Amino acid sequence: MEKITARAAIPVATEPGKERFGKARRVAIFLAYVGDGYAGMQHNPGVRTLESELMGALAKADAISPANAGKFDKVHWSRAARTDKGVSAVGNVVSLKMVVDNRPGLLKRINAALPPQVRVLGWEPEAPLDEAERARIDAVLAQYVGTHSFHNFTVRVAAGDPVAKRFILSFRVGGALQLEGRPWVRLVVLGQSFMMHQIRKMVGAAVAVCRGAAPPDSLKRALTSTAPVPTPLAPELGLFLDECEFDSYNSRWAADGKAALSLTGALGDAAEAFKLEHVYPHIARKDAAAGAKQQPAPLPIAAAAAATDAGAVASSGQGCPEPAKEGQAVNGNPAPVEHSEPAAIKTAQRGTAGRDLG
């Protein structure tokens, strides 16, 4: 399943006639279409695709320069969901750099260049997150990857308790996006299992380091010290369980013709649409409502990301079971790999998230 991604906001190179186009800005286009007659969403040379259709319309409407027409990498193109042949969508999102300033009637011109079954609903500016910022955050999050004792990232678990050992496959920035006019940063963590508050504390500690409120070696000390190391607990609002992955089961059985247990194809598209239509707007609205009622937290480490604690959900009613090794069966069933996604990092200074990470 594809994730929303964001790339660096690189200044547009000067080209002949560029002056009439102005500065390109990173935006997220909301797209609806009937997929009949198309070989899918993703650009594929030689066949009719929705991305090629949209790219052509943007060029005709002067949203991108003729020099960049058809060059998806030049405009930093990415998509939220890759729909298959014939599949329709009412809320897909395409991210790219295009010229939107001083363009009266641009939306009308773009849609005039599209067939009736494809409509651009509008666009929003994306949150700025340059490559240097992204690399710095990724480097902090990477310290969690591997098998570590997370006794300082949960409650009532001693340093030597085997239960504290958890395996994190990856933890990275998943991109930036605009929600209700405010910038948010997506963090994606993939692990075999989580304990109570573990992800919220991982996010809180990482944000504290990124913003300079905690020393750079704080995460290493929290993961290796047998002594208690306090770790900040991020608010619960933005965290949600994104997907359960069954890699061992799929590699063993799907090859024999059985259906893979995976959010791919139409299932993945439906899941992405649900996030765009319900989950993200809910997070943004609740955050805005809380911000209107409360004063910002006094500490600079106050920041975000978490709605249900995935670790608590995973071990609900079972205490904190020992994590299975990768691929190991649990009670005769394939061990799921839980994929939880803190959707946002919000700072105490409202509306400045992403940039205030450092």
Just list the catalytic residues: 84
* Helix, coil or strand: residue 31: strand
Which H or E run contains 283?
A: helix 280-293
Residue 137 half-sphere exposure toward CB, CA atoms < 13 A: 27
What angle (nearest 5°) sits at the alpha carbon of residue 61, between those of residues 181 and 104? 55
CA neighbor of 75 nearest in space, from 4, 12, 17, 131: 12
Which 8-state DSSP code applies to residue 337? Answer: E
- Residue entry with tokens 């004792």: 149
Q: Is 37 left (phi over 0), alpha (psi -120 to 50) or beta?
A: left
Which 8-state DSSP code applies to residue 189? Answer: E
Which H or E run contains 340?
A: strand 337-342
